[in-house]
C-alpha cells in the first residue's frame, strides 16, 4: 500500500506503508542511531513525534520481549529508507511491521530519508503528516499546519503511570541464554536493595529503572502529578526526575514538588528531568532547531575535561545564561555548546540532559548512577 509523508511547508515524500493504515500528525525529527530501533520506538519521550531513522536498513533483527523501554510503541509515526519484512535474531519474537500494525502505528518506507533529514536539519523540526488515506499534498500540508506545535504542549500526562508501583528488576535479568529463555524465562535479580528511590514517571524508560536497581536501589515509581508531601511520606533516600516528552515549561505542576524536594533529599534528573531541574532552580528553557536524537553525541565533562559519547533524545535545552549563581553547569554539548548537565553548588541536586542508562547507546556516562548512590549515602550519614 502506498503512503504519503507531507511536511507543513509542503515538502512531500511518496513511499510504501509497512505499519497500520490511517493518518498520523506529529513533529518530524530524525534519529542518527545505527541500532536500537525497538528502544527508540518505545521511548515515551517520542510521544507526539514522527521519527526518521537515518540508518538505511530497519527491521532486519525483528522485535523481541527484552528491548522495549515501555509497554508499547510510543511514536506517532515511523519513517525509514528500507524496511525488512524478513528478520534474523535468536531473540526475535516477530516482525517490526506486525508490531506497528498491532499498536496502530503508521509507518512509511522507500523514501529518501537522507534528503528528508537534510531538509529538517536546514529548516528545523516541523509538523508533518503520514497518510495512507489521502494523496492530496495541499490538503495534508494544511492538516499538518493545523496541528499544535511542540512548544506549549504538555505530553507527560499521556505517558505517565496511573498509580504508584514498585520496580525490582535489574539489568542482569536480561542476560539470559536462548535455552533459559525457552524453558525457565527470565531469572529474578539477586540481592537486597539498600536505598529507596522514588522515581517520578514523566515517560520513564525501563533501562533507567534497571540501572537504579543495578546500583542497589529499591525503586518506587509515582505518577507525574505526585506531590512532594506524598513523596516524603514514602521516606525516600533520593528522588529521581525522569525523561519524558513535550515542552518542559508546560509541565508547571512538576516544578512545585521539585522545588520542595531540593534540599530535603538528593535529587537526580535525566532529560526532561534535567530541564525541569533548570526551571525549578530559576533558569529558562528554549526549543532547539531540530533537537538531539541519536547515540553518538559528544559531551564534555567540564571538571575533568573528559569527553563522553552519549545517547540523546530531546528537543528543548536549558539556557545557561538564565541560571542563578548557585547553579553550576557541569557538562556541555560539543556540537552546539548547549547545556548537558548542571548541579546545585551547595544542595544535593544534579541532572544531565543526555541518557546515561544507554538504552540504546554507549555506556560512557553510567558512572552518574554511582554518583547518585554516593550522594544518597552521604546524605543519610549527615
316-351: per-residue pLDDT in tens? 999 999 999 999 999 999 999 999 999 999 999 999
Q: How far apart are CA 192 and CA 35, in angstroms?
A: 33
Q: 289 and 366 share a domain?
A: yes
Whether 151 maps to a domain, the answer reads: no
Q: How far apart are CA 218 and CA 230, in angstroms?
A: 17
Average pLDDT, the chain: 93
Q: How far apart are CA 63 and CA 67, in angstroms?
A: 8
173, pLDDT greater than 60: no
Kindly state the cell numbers that stand for 65.
Answer: 520481549
Q: 87 and 165 share a domain?
A: no
**Residue 380: its pLDDT value, please?**
82
299, pLDDT greater than 50: yes
Whether 11 maps to a domain, the answer reads: yes
CATH of residue 236: 3.40.50.880
Q: 287 and 243 share a domain?
A: yes
Q: 74 and 178 share a domain?
A: no
Residue positions annotated with a catalytic role: 271, 355, 357
175, pLDDT greater than 60: no
pLDDT band at 186 (very low <50, low <70, confident <90, very high): very low
Alpha carbon separation from 138 to 4, 125, 129 (Å, rounded): 12, 19, 11
Percentage of the chain modeled with pLDDT above 90: 92
Last residue of a domain, one of 88, 119, 146: 146
DSSP, collapsed to helix, strand or coil, labels residue 39 as helix
Q: 260 and 320 share a domain?
A: yes
Q: 131 and 180 share a domain?
A: no
Structural domain range at position 12: 2-146
Whether 235 maps to a domain, the answer reads: yes
pLDDT band at 124 (very low <50, low <70, confident <90, very high): very high
Task: Tell me the average pLDDT across 100-115.
Answer: 98
pLDDT band at 185 (very low <50, low <70, confident <90, very high): very low
CATH of residue 25: 3.50.30.20
Pair 128, 79: CB distance under 8 Å: no
Amino acid at each position: 500500500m502506498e503512503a504519503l509523508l507531507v511536511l507543513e511547508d509542503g515538502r512531500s515524500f511518496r513511499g510504501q506503508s509497512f505499519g497500520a493504515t490511517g493518518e498520523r500528525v506529529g513533529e518530524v525529527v530524525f534519529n542518527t542511531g545505527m541500532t536500537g530501533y525497538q528502544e527508540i520506538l518505545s521511548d515515551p519521550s517520542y510521544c507526539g513525534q514522527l521519527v526518521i531513522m537515518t540508518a538505511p536498513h530497519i527491521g532486519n533483527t525483528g522485535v523481541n520481549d527484552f528491548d522495549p523501554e515501555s509497554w508499547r510503541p510510543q511514536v506517532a509515526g515511523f519513517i525509514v529508507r528500507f524496511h525488512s519484512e524478513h528478520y534474523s535474531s535468536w531473540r526475535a519474537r516477530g516482525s517490526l511491521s506486525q508490531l506497528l500494525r498491532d499498536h496502530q502505528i503508521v509507518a512509511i518506507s522507500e523514501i529518501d530519508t537522507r534528503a528528508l533529514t537534510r531538509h529538517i536539519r536546514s529548516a528545523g523540526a516541523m509538523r508533518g503528516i503520514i497518510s495512507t488515506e489521502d494523496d492530496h499534498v495541499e490538503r495534508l500540508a494544511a492538516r499538518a499546519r493545523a496541528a499544535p506545535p511542540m512548544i506549549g504542549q504538555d505530553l507527560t500526562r499521556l505517558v505517565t503511570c496511573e498509580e504508584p508501583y514498585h520496580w525490582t528488576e535489574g539489568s542482569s535479568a536480561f542476560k539470559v541464554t536462548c535455552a533459559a529463555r525457552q524453558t525457565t524465562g527470565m531469572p529474578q535479580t539477586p540481592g537486597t536493595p539498600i536505598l529507596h528511590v522514588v522515581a517520578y514517571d514523566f515517560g520513564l524508560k525501563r533501562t533507567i529503572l534497571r540501572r537504579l536497581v543495578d546500583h542497589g536501589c529499591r525503586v518506587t515509581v509515582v505518577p507525574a502529578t505526585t506531590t512532594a508531601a506524598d513523596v516524603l511520606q514514602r521516606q525516600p533516600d533520593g528522588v529521581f526526575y525522569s525523561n519524558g516528552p513535550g515542552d518542559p515549561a508546560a509541565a508547571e505542576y512538576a516544578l512545585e514538588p521539585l522545588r520542595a524536594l531540593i534540599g530535603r533529599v538528593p535529587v537526580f534528573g535525566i532529560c526532561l528531568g534535567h530541564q525541569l531541574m533548570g526551571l525549578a532552580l530559576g533558569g529558562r528553557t528554549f526549543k532547539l532547531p531540530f533537537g538531539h536524537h541519536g547515540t553518538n553525541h559528544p559531551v564534555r565533562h567540564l571538571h575533568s575535561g573528559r569527553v563522553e559519547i552519549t545517547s540523546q533524545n530531546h528537543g528543548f535545552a536549558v539556557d545557561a545564561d538564565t541560571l542563578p549563581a548557585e547553579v553550576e553547569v557541569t557538562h556541555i554539548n560539543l556540537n552546539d555548546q548547549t547545556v548537558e548537565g548542571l548541579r546545585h553548588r551547595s544542595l544535593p541536586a544534579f541532572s544531565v540532559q543526555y541518557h546515561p542508562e544507554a538504552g540504546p547507546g554507549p555506556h560512557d556516562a553510567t558512572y552518574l548512577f554511582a554518583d547518585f548512590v554516593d550522594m544518597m549515602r552521604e546524605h543519610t550519614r549527615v
